[in-house]
Amino acid sequence: MVSESSNVTTMSHNLHGTFISEKISKIRWKPETLGESHFFITGSVDNDTNKIRLWDAYENIEEDDVYSFNVAEYPYCGDVTELKFLNSEYFASSSSSGSVHLFSVAVSDVGESYIKHHRTWKDIHYFKNSEPSPSTALTFHENDIVTVGEDGRINVLNAQSENIVRTIDNADSCSIQCVIFIRHNEVLTSNLRGQMKVWDLRSNSNKAASTFMLSGDQVTPTCLTFYPTQRHIIIAGDELGALTSWDLRVNTYPVNVLNAHEGSISEISFHPDDPDHLFTCSSAGELWHWSTKNKNKYSIDLQQEESNVWLAPENVKNKMEVLTLMPTLAKPINTLDISNCKVLCGCDNEAIYLINGVSL
């Protein structure tokens, strides 16, 4: 295991901010089957009634700029803790009230887009005293949805059914913070104490298939992702601002720990079409672009497993260029998403930002 620090370079981009009078917890581009995405959704927190909003990112070709305007909204019970598009139409959300919801972006008879509610899996996260437990995260594979919560429970759902497919009641003795699918039948969870657990959803056992630690100390993971073309390579962000990577084939110890942000890492995401690029944001108000594609300088072929930079046992920082996409904010950046050369982020300063023309 190697621990290193990163050097950050500031880059200028076409940056457009929109003040929306609510804190944003999640922001997601709507995927398109054909053409470039221009719709996106947001979820809010800390309001009496929160909202899921649908936005259109209008591109003004003459001014070479992109503007965001609100198309539709849907009132939401509790804080929005996660939003995930299952496909180009449907998306799921999780709530601090312990419920999970399925929505779609629909089109009315007069051609107007709106948010349509399909079903709610109500109160599926709860504590032993029957009080609602926040659902902290969800993940999906095709129509299968897995949710986790502060109650230490794992729920397996299917987008086409109102019934709960399976519940693992005592999956963890403390809050489960993150969950991702690593195979169609396996999920990886992380808890408040830094324990990582792999679960085989085909098994009748309610015990994890394997367990390991984020690091030597009890550091809380705040977000998880996998390398798009090699799902056994896992990247985690934590409350201390570090990026940790594992090879799940030998998951006893992390491959490396890269000291990154000043504050806790809110979200991490590889570019959906080019895994040479990783994007991160933090509670310190930072939005960074990690590039490992400078092959002329480093001669790295990331499609070759043995030379994947995230498995490099040493000199990781020398194989990356880290760019800051916008000036550091005084408030946390909670969420980000990427579509082609456009990056979105949502913040506690009650604004959303769209960065256009990110160089890949």
Q: Are strands 287-291 and 321-324 parallel, antiparallel or unpaired?
A: antiparallel
Summary mean pLDDT of the chain = 89
pTM > 0.75? yes
Confidence band (pLDDT; 50, 70, 90) for 320? confident
- Which has the closest alpha carbon to 4: 217, 259, 238, 239? 259
Tens digit of pLDDT for each residue in 239-272?
A: 999 999 999 988 778 888 888 999 999 999 999 9
The residue whose two tokens read 């999906």 is 140
Q: Are strands 287-291 and 14-19 parallel, antiparallel or unpaired?
A: unpaired
Q: Assign domain 2-356 one CATH number from 1.10.3720.10, 2.130.10.10, 3.40.50.300, 3.90.1150.10.
A: 2.130.10.10
CA torsion sign for 316, 317, 322, 327 is: positive
Q: Which of 116-120, 171-175, 307-311 has the lowest mean pLDDT?
A: 307-311
Tens digit of pLDDT for each residue in 108-160?
A: 999 999 999 999 999 999 999 999 999 999 999 999 999 999 999 999 999 99
Q: Averaged over 96-104, what is the pLDDT?
A: 98
**Top-confidence residue, 359 or 307:** 359
- pLDDT of amino acid 233: 94
Between CA 112 and CA 340 the distance in angstroms is 25
- pLDDT of amino acid 286: 97
Provide the percentage of residues in the chain whose pLDDT is more than 90.
75
**Top-confidence residue, 285 or 6:** 285
Distance of CA 237 to the CA centre of its chain: 11
CA torsion 78-334-243-317 (nearest 10°) is 170
**Residue 170 to residues 97, 126, 178, 200: CA-CA distances in angstroms?**
19, 12, 16, 15
- pLDDT of amino acid 297: 42
- The domain locations on the chain are 2-356
